[in-house]
Amino acid sequence: DAKTTQPTSMDCAEGRAANLPCNHSTISGNEYVYWYRQIHSQGPQYIIHGLKNNETNEMASLIITEDRKSSTLILPHATLRDTAVYYCFRDAGGTSYGKLTFGQGTILTVHP
Amino acid sequence: EAQVTQNPRYLITVTGKKLTVTCSQNMNHEYMSWYRQDPGLGLRQIYYSMNVEVTDKGDVPEGYKVSRKEKRNFPLILESPSPNQTSLYFCASSLRRGGVLEQYFGPGTRLTVT
């Protein structure tokens, strides 16, 4: 039972915005949405996270729908170096730790 | 420099020969975990540890063991490796800051079992 679902792969032209969707329809009120990416076979790296509001940092923007059932990661001007696997996952905040489920991720290919 | 290290980075072994992949972090994090990554299956958590001597199963624990005797180390043990454990393995170290989970991944260990 996947906690998040993402498209298997997407393409994007260099210089254009890449919009990567994630469905998390069963998300609870206290769960954050996180995005990580993995370039080649390196260790995944954090991109951004959000709870309710849209978020932006130097790497990307995160748009969360009002019902919080889905979100979109936006890379505003994709470059060839953004070709990677992008993972979205959800985790309850607070102070405790537990099992984490990443899922399959989306392979984003940025082409010239 | 804050980091998670794994050793070895590459390993080729034979079925049934016990092996250990080490993981160490220098950030004093309480939470550590192991993942495996296979084509089309994404990242799957094997085991995690919430603190010294506290470990629990992730989504795919069969065939693996872990231990957490010290806060900084979290080795992954394959008592009797089999070819279906050929995979790319990542160790991660995490903390909560203001409720938000911060995860740091190691560089990965590529294991081949023949």
Q: CA B58, CA B47: separation in Å to the nearest integer?
A: 5
Cβ contacts of A91 on chain B, cutoff 8 Å: 101
pLDDT classification of A1: cutoffs 50, 70, 90: very low
How many contacts, defined by CB atoms under 8 Å, are there between A and B? 71
Angle (CA) B40 A108 A67, round 5°: 90
Q: What band does B99 get if pLDDT is binned at 50, 70 and 90?
A: confident
**pLDDT tens across B3-12, in order?**
999 999 999 9
- Please tell me the distance from the alpha carbon of residue B31 to that of residue B7, in angstroms, as a whole number: 19
Residue B84: is it exposed, middle or buried by C-beta count within 10 angstroms (0-12/13-18/19+)?
exposed
Q: For residue A2, what pLDDT is reported?
A: 59
Choose, out of A49, A100, A104, the residue to mutate when testing the contact with B (most B CBs < 10 Å). Answer: A100
Nearest CA in chain B to A97: B50
Q: Does A103 touch chain B (CB under 8 A)?
A: yes
Q: Does A55 touch chain B (CB under 8 A)?
A: no
Selected residue with higher pLDDT from B19 and A100? B19
Whole-angstrom distance, CA of residue B19 vs CA of residue B11: 9
Chain A residue numbers touching B42 (CB-CB < 8 A): 85, 87, 102-105
Contact status, residue B44 vs residue B60, Cβ threshold 8 Å: yes
Q: Average per-residue pLDDT in chain B?
A: 95
Q: And the tokens for B107?
A: 């560089």
Over residues A54-80, mean pLDDT: 96
Minimal Cβ distance to A42: which of B35, B94, B107: B107
